[in-house]
Amino acid sequence: MSLEVIVLAAGKGKRMQSDLPKVLHTLAGRPLINHVLETAMALNPRAVHVVCSHDDESVRAVSDGDAVRWVVQAEQRGTGHAVQQALPGVSGDALVLVMYADVPLVRCETLRTLISRAGHSGVSLLTAIVEDPTGYGRILRDSEGRIEGIVEERDATDDQRAINEVNTGILVAPVQALGRWLARVTNDNDQKEYYLTDVAALANQDNVVIQGLAAPTMEEVLGVNSRQDLALLERVHQRRLAAALMDHGVTVIDPSRLDIRGQVTAGRDCVLDINVVLEGAVALGDRVSIGPNNVIRNATIGDDVVVLANCVIERATLGAGARIGPFARIRPGVVIEERVHIGNFVEIKNSELRAGAKVNHLSYVGDTTVGRNTNIGAGVITCNYDGARKHRTEIGDDVFVGSNSQLVAPVKVGQGATVGAGSTITSDVPERALAVTRARQRHVSGWRRPRKDTKR
C-alpha cells in the first residue's frame, strides 16, 4: 500500500492570544507547519493533504502549495470531522498517516516504525508514557494488554484517569477502513465533537488488531497550545540541533544558549561560545571560533576564522584566517579574503576586501574594493551615497589611509598610495603618491580660552 499523509492544521489556538494562526508561530525561525510538512515529505508519501480553516490563506502562503493538497474544514467539529474532509481526495488503496501541524518535533524514524507496525490492514497508534497524564486521552487496554480504545480525560472515569499511557493523536490506518469507522463516530461527548480517537474502539469492535508504539520521549510528541509550550519546544529543538553539531566535532560552550534558525554545516574543531544565533544557511569551515553574542545569517566562513564578541554578519563570505570584531557589522554583499582583519566598531557593506587588508577601528567601508595588504585607519569613511545614487570607491594594493579621512565616491586610490590623516579625498590619487587635503597647522601665541563670568 502507498502512503498518504493528512496534516490537521485548522485549529485556531485561542490560548496563544494571537492574531496569527497557531501553526504560523515559529520554531527555530520557521513556522510550525513547515517543520511538520518537512517531516511528512521525508517519508516519501504519494500525497500530503493539509486540512485548514476557510480563512487560512496565510497558512497556504508560507507552505509549499505545489507539494500539498489543501482541504478546507469550514466548521470546526473535531479531529474526526477534520480527517473526514480530506478522505475523498485520498487514493482508495492508501495507508493514511494522520499528523498535526502543531506537533513539530516528531521524528521520521518514529513515524517509519509506526507505519511498519500497521502493516496492510491494521491500525497503529503513537502513544506516550508520562508521569502526569493530565489533559491527555488515555489508552485503554484489555487484560492481555491489547489496545481496545481511547478515552478523553473529560469523559474518563477516575480509574481511567490514573492510566499513564496517553494518546498522541498520531495514527496510521488503511483509508477504506478509516472511512468506515469515521462514518460511525458520533459526537456524544462533553465537547459535542467528532473525535478521531473513537476510531480505536471501532477498530477493536471489528476485531482489527491495534498496534501501539510508545514514543521514545514525551518531548517528541508535545504539541503547541500556548506560548509557554512554544518556548519549551524551542529549547528542546535547539538542544537537538546543538547535539547534532557536537556529534560532528563542534564545541558548543553552552547548548542552552545557542540558537540555530536554519541549516548549519560545520567543519572540525569549531567553537561556538554563548548566545550565538545562526540563521539561514551558515557554513563554517574547520577551526572556526565564534565568540559570545554573535548573530551570523546566511554566511560562509572559512577555515581558522575568528569572530570576536558582539558582531553581526549577514550574507557575507569570510576567507580563511580572517579576524572579525569585536563589535563589527558585516552587511550583505561583503567578500572578505584570507587574513583580513575587521576590528571593533567597523561596518562593511557591499565591498570586497582582498587578502591581508585591515580595517581595525571605528570605520565605515561601503561599496568599496580594498586591495591586498591595505590598511584603513581609524575613523575612515567611504562616502558612497550622494543622496540619490550609490557610488563606488576603489582602493589598490598596499595603500595606507590615515585616520579620520573621508573618501568621497566615485574615487580611486592607486596602488601603494598614502592618504594623510584627516584628509577628504574627492579626486583620484595616483599610485605611490601622498594625498593630503587638511589645512596647514598654525599657532596663535597668547590666545586665551573664553571663560565664564565669575558669580559674585
Residues acting as catalytic residues? 361
Cell 491495534 -> residue? 210
**362 Ramachandran zone, left/alpha/beta (phi>0; psi -120 to 50):** left
Phi, psi (degrees; rounded to nearest 5) at 154: -65, -20
C-alpha distances in angstroms, 111 versus 34, 42, 185, 199, 203? 17, 10, 25, 19, 20
Q: How many CA atoms lie within 13 A of 384 on its CB side?
A: 18
Half-sphere exposure (Cβ direction) of 301: Cα atoms closer than 13 Å: 31
Contact in structure between 107 and 162 (CB atoms under 8 Å): no
Torsion of CA 284, 290, 295, 298, to 10 degrees: -10
Instruction: Tell me the C-alpha distance between 88 and 69, whole Å.
Output: 12
> Taking the chain, what is the end-to-end CA distance rounded to the nearest angstrom?
102
Q: How far is CA 275 from CA 253, 259, 278, in A?
A: 10, 7, 10
DSSP designation for 339? T
The answer to whether 248 and 197 are in contact (CB under 8 A) is no
246 close to 269: Cβ distance less than 8 angstroms: no
Which string of DSSP letters, residue by residue, matches 226-251? SHHHHHHHHHHHHHHHHHHHHHTT-E
Residue showing cell 561596518: 347
Length of the chain: 456
CA distance 32 to 24: 6
DSSP string, 120-149: TT-EEEEEEE-S--TTSPEEEE-TTS-EEE
Q: Which of 124, 129, 133, 102 is nearest to 216 (CA)?
A: 129
Instruction: Please give the single-letter amino acid code of residue 316.
Output: A
The distance from CA 16 to its chain's CA centroid, rounded to whole angstroms, is 20
Supply the DSSP symbol for 221: G
* DSSP type of residue 183: H
Task: Please give the single-letter amino acid code of residue 28.
Answer: A
